[in-house]
Amino acid sequence: MTANPANGLTPNSIITPQTIWSATAVATTANTTYTDSPTNTVLLAPLYLLNPNPFSVINGSPTVTVTMASHGLETGDTITIAGATAIGGITPSGAYQVTVLTANTFTVTHGSNATSTVAAGGGSAVTVQDSRTSRNGARISRITGLTGVTTTAAEAQLFNSFDGGVTKRLVKTALLPAYTIPSATQAQTGADFGYSDSSPYPLAPGETLYIGVSVSGRLIVTAQGYAY
């Protein structure tokens, strides 16, 4: 394909998604705030299961080295760690800013010092959620939600942000029909935000998505598409 003479870029490199993008989030607390600061929303972003025992720590230091193959992160990015077991007297959990070491490793700073040196630990259920959602943008073709509990009809809410979640703006809502769990006679309809291959959500570079639900319960949202 011929490069665009205006910018020297190959159009195909800009408009063709390159890798599969998928994300999931669970909202349980009702959100009834529609301003730019909703009270109860959950980040909708890719979640990665790391290889077993991805952490190493040094006695007397709060620095945790994390091994994550081809992580694609940059220094200053924020991630959320969950599912870890204790290593060297500390348990990495929650949001951290990363400092990149190599393409496969980075460090985070825990809130307290390790009490022993351990070369590999953290267990086999460590997950990392990348809050940037997609560095170069994405083409999201499906966002749907299901309930995990018996619920009345509810509003599933989709918010976006361009400043890391400081300001969140309502993008779209979808109806989550009333449903009783379990049911032997009725399949759950769920909520569908209406995006498709022919009518996708174009996620901009640095844009993040959040979900909310109008009643307390359990809204499980999944999104699929392709990242650039």
What does the chain come to in residues?
228
pLDDT attached to residue 17: 55
pLDDT attached to residue 58: 98
pLDDT attached to residue 15: 56
More confident residue, 217 or 14: 217
**Does pLDDT of 7 surpass 80?**
no
DSSP helix/strand/coil, 11: helix
- pLDDT digit string, tens, across residues 109-148: 999 999 999 999 999 999 998 876 667 889 999 999 999 9
The band of 89, judged by pLDDT with boundaries at 50, 70 and 90, is very high
pLDDT attached to residue 9: 42
The band of 18, judged by pLDDT with boundaries at 50, 70 and 90, is low
pLDDT attached to residue 8: 43
Cβ 36 vs Cβ 167: under 8 Å: yes
| Amino acid residing at 143 | I
DSSP helix/strand/coil, 23: strand
Q: Where are the domains of the chain?
A: 17-45+133-227, 47-130
CATH 2.30.33.40 fits 47-130, yes or no: no
- pLDDT digit string, tens, across residues 22-78: 898 999 999 999 999 998 999 999 888 999 999 999 999 999 999 999 888 999 888
Question: For the domain with range 17-45+133-227, which CATH number is right: 3.30.1360, 3.40.720, 2.60.120, 3.30.60?
Answer: 2.60.120
Residue 175 CA to residue 197 CA, distance in Å, equals: 21
Cβ 126 vs Cβ 51: under 8 Å: no
Sorted by sequence, the CB contacts under 8 Å of residue 10 that are 6+ apart come out as 1, 3, 4
Neighbours of 223 (CB within 10 A): 27
- pLDDT digit string, tens, across residues 156-194: 999 999 988 899 999 999 999 999 998 888 899 999 999
